[in-house]
């Protein structure tokens, strides 16, 4: 489920460290109080990582309740952004990179260009 981002309309990553002992209510409170976002937004995935970067938690509202996702890697670590204590919106491609163990900021990735139109 977490390897395929196609079912999510928005993906947010909580940069920095999160206490993964928190459950649904604690993570939803972080989303509401710290990030000023709505955890009840359907198809919006919120991702959290603790000090050990081999596991993460995801919070997803399904319309009738929350789904708490937990993933632990058997080998390898997630390249989690640690420099900021804020939330970032991620693209589906960045999500795929994260799940593959890569950084979400690929310096050599080709960026999309929006051409300037003459008026």
| Banded model confidence at residue 1, pLDDT cuts 50, 70, 90 | low
CB 108 within 8 A of CB 39: no
Dist. CA 40–CA 64, nearest whole Å: 10
Tokens representing 25?
């209510």
Least confident of 79-83, 96-100, 108-112: 108-112
Dist. CA 84–CA 21, nearest whole Å: 21
Average pLDDT of the chain to the nearest whole number: 87
Q: What's residue 105's pLDDT?
A: 78
CB 14 within 8 A of CB 56: no
Question: Which pTM value belongs to this model?
Answer: 0.82
């Amino acid at each position: 489920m977490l390897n395929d981002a196609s079912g999510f309309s928005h993906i947010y990553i909580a940069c920095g460290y999160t206490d993964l002992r928190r459950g649904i209510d604690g993570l939803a409170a972080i989303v509401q109080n710290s990030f000023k976002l709505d955890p009840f937004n359907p198809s919006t995935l919120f991702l959290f990582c603790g000090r050990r970067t081999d596991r993460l938690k995801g919070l997803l509202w399904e319309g009738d309740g929350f789904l708490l996702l937990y993933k632990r890697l058997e080998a390898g670590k997630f390249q989690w952004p640690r420099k900021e204590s804020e939330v970032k919106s991620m693209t589906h491609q960045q999500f795929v990179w994260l799940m593959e163990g890569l950084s979400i900021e690929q310096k050599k990735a080709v960026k999309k260009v929006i051409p300037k139109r003459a008026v």
